[in-house]
Amino acid sequence: METLRVGIVGAGWMGHVHARAWAENAPRGEVVAVADVSAERVKHLAAEIGRDVHSFADLEGMLDGAEIDAVDICLPHHLHTEAIVAAARAGKAILCEKPLCTNLDDAAAVRAALQQSGSVFMAAHNQLFQPSLIEARRLLASGALGRPFVFRSIEAVQNRGFASGRHQRDIGGGESPWVWRADVARMGGGEVIDTGWHAAYRLLALAEDRPVEVSAMMDRYAVKQLAAEDTGVILVRFASGAIGEMLTSWAFGPVGNWHFEVGAEHGSMAGGQGRLVHQLHGWPEPVEFAPFTHTLALTFASEVTHFLDVVQRGEASQASFDHAARVLQLTLAAYAAAEGHCVVALPEDPTLPGVPATSGELARA
C-alpha cells in the first residue's frame, strides 16, 4: 500500500496534535507539507515532525506547490468551507476538524463540491474512537440491553484558556486560539458549536437515529470573554421516539467525568473516559468492564487510522459529510430553539434548516 502524502493546513494546537496522530500511523500516511499564515508556527510544527516538510503560507500555495494526496484542515471555523471546497476542487482526500462549517448554505456548497470532485471527506470526530464508546455501541448493537429509549451525552470542562489567553503549550507565535473563539463571526457561535460538537456527534452515534425535534436552553455563566454562551442543555427527539439530552459547558466539569448514559428496556449503561458500566434492571449491582486505556492522543491516532481505512481500503466512513452535516443542522437548530424559546423540527435533508414546530401552540398556552 502506498503512503498517503498529507498536507496539514493550520499549524496551531490541532495541527500539532494531528501531526502526532499521523506519526502514529506511519508509514500508511505521512505529513509532507504544512501551511499556516504564521511562519513561526509552520517552523515549529516542521521541527516537531522532524523530517523535511514543505512549508507554505496558505492552502492555495500548498495545493499548487506540494505533492500531496490529502489535506488535513485544522483551521478556525469560518475558514473550513473555503478550505474544503479548494481541496475538493484539487482532487484531494479531506480530513477536516470540527465543526464541518458554520452555516447550512456553506454545508450545501461543501456537499456540491464533494459530489463534483468525488473526493473522500471525513470529519475529525475523534471522540468516536474513545474505547468506552466503541464498546458501548457494540453492546447496544448486540441487543443485550433491549430497546434503548433515553440517551445522554455530556461534554463539559471548566475552560481556563480564555483567562490565560495562551495555548496549552508553546507552539510558536501567532494569534491566540482564544481570540478567534471569542469572535462569534469566526467561531460561528459559542461553546455549543465548539466543544458541544463532540456531545452532539456522540449522541447521534449512540442513538443511530435521525433527530427530528430539538429544544434548548443556553447561557453564559463563567467565561466573560465570550459574547455567546458557555453552557447549553439541549433536548432531542429522535425519529424512533427515543429522547436524547446533551449537556455541554466551558463553565464546569461534571462529577466523575461521565460522558454518556443510556436507558434501555433491559438495563442502563454509563460511560466515561476510561470506564463503562452497565446494570440490568433488577440486578443489585452494576457491572464494570475492565478499565479502558484512554488518552486523547489515542482517539486522534485512531481517527487518522479510520481516515486511512476509508481512503486506502474503501471502508465506510463513521464521520462522513452526512454525519457532520446532521451535527451542524442539530447544533444550529439548538441555537434557534434557545433564541426563539421554541421546539424546532428538523427536515430530513441535513443541509436544510430546522423550523419552529410548536411556537403557535406555545404562544397560545
Ligand X SMILES: NC(=O)c1ccc[n+]([C@@H]2O[C@H](COP(=O)([O-])OP(=O)(O)OC[C@H]3O[C@@H](n4cnc5c(N)ncnc54)[C@H](O)[C@@H]3O)[C@@H](O)[C@H]2O)c1
Query: Which residues of the chain form contacts with ligand X (CB under 6 A)?
Result: 9-14, 35-38, 41, 58, 74-77, 79, 97-98, 124, 126, 174-175, 177, 194
Instruction: Report the sign of the C-alpha dihedral through residues 295, 313, 138, 125, in that order.
Output: positive
Instruction: Report the sign of the C-alpha dihedral through residues 137, 141, 142, 146, in that order.
Output: positive
Instruction: Report the nearest approach of ligand X to the CB of residue 340 (Å).
Output: 26
Cell reading at 125:
470526530
Instruction: Report the nearest approach of ligand X to the CB of residue 12 (Å).
Output: 2
Instruction: Report the nearest approach of ligand X to the CB of residue 155 (Å).
Output: 10
What residue number has its CB nearest to ligand X?
12
Instruction: Report the nearest approach of ligand X to the CB of residue 174 (Å).
Output: 4
Instruction: Report the nearest approach of ligand X to the CB of residue 197 (Å).
Output: 7
Between 16 and 237, CB nearer to ligand X: 16
Between 35 and 200, CB nearer to ligand X: 35
Longest Cα–Cα distance of the chain, Å, equals 67
Distance CA 92, CA 48 (A): 24
Using an 8 Å Cβ cutoff, are 353 and 332 in contact?
yes
Q: Give DSSP secondary structure letters for 330-364.
A: HHHHHHHHHHHTS-EE--SSTTSPPEESSHHHHHH
Between 82 and 322, CB nearer to ligand X: 82
Between 198 and 278, CB nearer to ligand X: 198
Between 274 and 356, CB nearer to ligand X: 274
Cell reading at 31:
505529513
Instruction: Report the nearest approach of ligand X to the CB of residue 45 (Å).
Output: 9
Please give the angle made by the CA atoms of 211, 120 and 311, to the nearest 5 degrees. 115
Residue 267: CB atoms within 10 Å: 20
Instruction: Report the nearest approach of ligand X to the CB of residue 350 (Å).
Output: 19
Between 175 and 315, CB nearer to ligand X: 175
Q: 3-state secondary structure string, 114-170?
A: HHHHCCCEEECCHHHHCHHHHHHHHHHHHCCCCCEEEEEEEEECCCCHHHHCCCCCC
Residue 87: CB atoms within 10 Å: 29
Instruction: Report the nearest approach of ligand X to the CB of residue 245 (Å).
Output: 21
Please give the helix or strand (H or E) that residue 95 lies within, else none.
Answer: strand 93-96
Between 35 and 104, CB nearer to ligand X: 35
Between 9 and 214, CB nearer to ligand X: 9
Amino acid at 63: L
